[in-house]
Amino acid sequence: MTRSVDILAERLEGRVPKLAIVLGSGLGGLVDELENAVRVPYSQLPEFPESGVTGHSGDVVAGNLGGRQVIILSGRIHYYEQGHPAAMRPILETLTGLGVTSLILTNSAGSLRKTIPPGSVMLITDHINFSGTNPLFGEPSDARFVGLTEAYDRSMSAALTKAAKAERIALKGGVYMWFSGPSFETPAEIRMARTMGADAVGMSTVPEVILARFFGMRVAACSVITNFAAGMTGAELSHGETKEMAPMGGAKLARILKRAIGDLA
């Protein structure tokens, strides 16, 4: 058990959440929805790396959402920050030590489909790892051979789909392709991604899915679409655009999560 587990267990004061949510760029507003919240900065947790990306505050926040105890990770660490694909491993290992069994991952992504425009939310149904790396490189045990045929839990995805329908929010399913970043993709790379079956592209989430499955967690994931991918509009991409557009789709995703929370056990 890590020191971070001990510190968080003490700060949670008896809370035993089984569900955790990782928030992507510009999605931190969901933290404000928590009741009776306890906030612990990553800087106070020995094993936690600190995010250097604007839009990621770097806090563990525990509280009640829709009548259920949850832990929200407000900010993630990306592969491109340190060249370390397992950067999120200490965080997910800590969640496992606290008893978390289900994980919802969110991110901001670029759409490859005109039918999934900026401001919408996409349910990730599968992914393509195009980064050339894996967070389980160097893992010595045979547990490294993680099966990903059912990487995204069907019952959790169904609960999110049901909640979106109840909220009258379009939630299309799609395949997310992980590029390493931090530079955005080229138009040629986007044409390739579309040919390979991707519906959205981004720079996160996939290593967390792999690690979460390694630790035995159930996983669901959603992308907030902030832009059309390179070459689709002729405009240049920027992180500023991501931060500006993410709250629009983030508000929709927050409604979906609050509605679905009771069915995500």
Is residue 220 scored above 90 in pLDDT?
yes
Is residue 262 scored above 90 in pLDDT?
no
Start-end of H helices in the chain: 3-11, 79-82, 89-98, 154-166, 187-195, 206-214, 239-260
**234 vs 72, residue with greater confidence:** 72
**85 vs 75, residue with greater confidence:** 85
Domain spans of the chain?
Answer: 3-263
- What's the pLDDT score for residue 53? 55
**241 vs 83, residue with greater confidence:** 83
Is residue 1 scored above 60 in pLDDT?
no
- What's the pLDDT score for residue 265? 61
- Per CATH, the number for 3-263 is 3.40.50.1580
CA 79/CA 159 separation, integer angstroms? 30
Q: How confident is the model at residue 166 (pLDDT cuts 50, 70, 90)?
A: very high
CA 19/CA 98 separation, integer angstroms? 10
pLDDT tens-digit readout, 87-119: 999 999 999 999 999 999 999 999 999 999 999
pLDDT tens-digit readout, 54-74: 554 689 999 999 889 999 998
Is residue 240 scored above 80 in pLDDT?
no
Share of the chain above pLDDT 90, in %: 73
- What's the pLDDT score for residue 27? 74
- What's the pLDDT score for residue 190? 96
- What's the pLDDT score for residue 50? 74
pLDDT tens-digit readout, 7-25: 999 998 888 899 999 998 6
CA 210/CA 218 separation, integer angstroms? 11
Which residues, 6 or more positions from 215, have their beta carbon under 8 angstroms from its beta carbon? 92, 93, 96
- What's the pLDDT score for residue 244? 74
Q: How confident is the model at residue 82 (pLDDT cuts 50, 70, 90)?
A: confident
* 171: nearest Cα among 222, 206, 214: 222
Share of the chain above pLDDT 70, in %: 94
Tell me the pLDDT of the chain averaged across its residues: 91
- What's the pLDDT score for residue 185? 94
**80 vs 243, residue with greater confidence:** 80
Mean pLDDT, residues 185-191 taken together: 96
Is residue 52 scored above 70 in pLDDT?
no
Which residues, 6 or more positions from 94, have their beta carbon under 8 angstroms from its beta carbon? 2, 4, 5, 8, 45, 47, 48
- What's the pLDDT score for residue 129? 98
Is residue 33 scored above 90 in pLDDT?
no
